[in-house]
Structure formats: structure tokens, C-alpha cells
Amino acid sequence: MITIAGIKRHSLYSPNHISNDALIFKKTVKKLNESDIMVNVYEEADLDTTEIKESFIFSMAQGIEGTKKLSELEEKGKKIINSPKGSINSYRYNMVKILPQKGIPFPKSYVVSIDEKDKIKFGDFNTRKIWIKRGDVHAVHREDVTLVYSEDERKNIFREFEKRGITEVVLQEHLDGDVIKFYAIVGSPLFHWYYLNGVNHTPFDKDKLVELAQSSAMALGLDVYGGDAVVAEDGSISIIDINDWPSFAPIRDEASEQIAKLIFQKVKNLKRSLSLKS
């Protein structure tokens, strides 16, 4: 039996999804056990004080400290899914730069240091509403992703972020249209989508949605991912967010099976590679 490591996500980074994140992790472990892979489970909060001896790690960690520790382990030769590089790329202050550079349709976004909080103002967007989002992890509090309608609201959110020690903020154009949520796994036939708020149910090219999602995951370096997109009135699609290892709540059973298959294959590849070197 092969033994690998599994890193559970800190509950701080599962706002409103603590049980869902725990369940996809638990079901993935169960599927791996059925494939004769034993999983030693570690907590993201304990990464700084725990030695991980396993050569292969699958991780739901999202926090800066945990991701930094996993990056060190990856540099020492450990194989990790999702790669901590992918998790870091998924932090908004990185993602909003990477995806447009790769040609992914993405809303106009600005990364603003809290020290330069008035550098970009509400009026710079020439629109009736904008999104303000914390720049690093996706969400810890409800206010971390907020739709604002005025300059006064923008200033209030910035003051809130400053009090909480958030150093970088993303201001993002609001795109009108049908909002779609999707889940996927690299190398798997699984691609699940649904309307988060299907206002118009505008016809769109579903193959194009899959292509944009896959291109986004590749650009960020993710194997297990989800995200959100907006379908405009003309049927064009824009990616508005990508998440590393979401909860897969609507399709948890199918997703855990496909994630386990991906891990199993990568573990086999690692074992083969190590045997060839020895």
C-alpha cells in the first residue's frame, strides 16, 4: 500500500463552506483508500510545526503561511496537487494580472495597495457599480467580496480592510449578464456548470466555456478547480473568478472519484519515476 499526505483546509478559509470543504476532502480520502492508497491527514494550521515525510501530497490549503510551507516542500522535490504555485497564482492580486495576459476575457481590474487607497476611485470605472475584493485569499468574511454603488461605499470598504490588516485590494468592473458557476478537474471528463443567477438565460457556446475554464486553470497551474463566468447579452463569455479546489458541493460524489483517479495516476507516475532513478 502506498502512503501519501492530505492537507485539510483551515476553517478560516472556508467561510460558509466548512462542512462542504471537509466532505469533499473526506470523500477523496475514502476513494483513495479504496484504491489501496493510504492517506495521512494533516491540518493546514499545523504545517509549520509538523514534518511531512510523504513524497506525494494533495492539499486544500489556501492560507499564505500554509502555502508558503508547501512551496518549500515542493522545492525540495515533493509532488503536490494542487501545486502551491497554482494556489498563489489564484490569489486575486496575481490572478487578475495572469488571466488577461494569457488572453482570457476578464473584467477590467486594478490592484491597489491599502497605502494608496485613493489611487483608483469609483468614478474611474464610469459604471453604476463595481466590485471590491480582498487581494489574497478568496474570502474570510462576508465583506471580502462586496458590490458597491458609490465612492463613499468604496471608502468605507477600504477602511474596513485597513482595520483588518488587508494590504492589497482588487477593484473590479461589474459585468452584466448571466452568472455561471463551474467545477472541473484536469484530465477528467468532469465539467459541471449551473446558473448562479440566470437572469436572461442567453444562449452561449458551452464548448467555449469549457475552453476558457481549462485555459484559465492551465494559466494558473491548477489541477482541481472551479470558478465563475458571466455570459453577456451577446453570448460572449468572460471568466470572473477561479478557485483552487472548491467544495464541489453539487457533484461531490462524482468529483471525489475523479480527483482520486487523478491523484492515483500521478502517484503511479511518481513511483515509476523514482524506480527508474534507483
CA nearest neighbour of 84 among 7, 191, 3, 169: 7
* Helix then strand then coil, % of the chain, to nearest 5: 45, 25, 30
What are the contacts of 73-77 at 24+ separation with CB within 8 A? none
The values of phi and psi at residue 137, to 5°, are: -65, 160
Q: Which domains does the chain have, with CATH numbers?
A: 2-82+249-277 (3.40.50.11950), 108-173 (3.30.1490.20), 178-244 (3.30.470.20)
CA nearest neighbour of 79 among 261, 275, 263: 263
Cα distance between residue 9 and residue 218, in whole Å? 22
The values of phi and psi at residue 8, to 5°, are: -80, 145
pLDDT given at position 198: 85
pLDDT given at position 250: 95
pLDDT in tens, the chain (278 residues): 799 999 999 888 776 666 889 999 999 999 999 999 999 999 999 998 999 999 999 999 999 999 999 999 999 999 999 999 999 999 999 999 999 999 999 999 999 999 898 999 999 998 899 999 999 877 677 778 999 999 999 999 999 999 999 999 999 999 999 999 999 999 999 999 999 998 899 999 999 999 999 999 999 999 999 999 999 999 999 999 999 999 999 999 999 999 999 999 999 888 777 665 65
**Which residue has 496537487 as its cell numbers?**
81
Q: Chain centroid to CA 260: how far?
A: 18
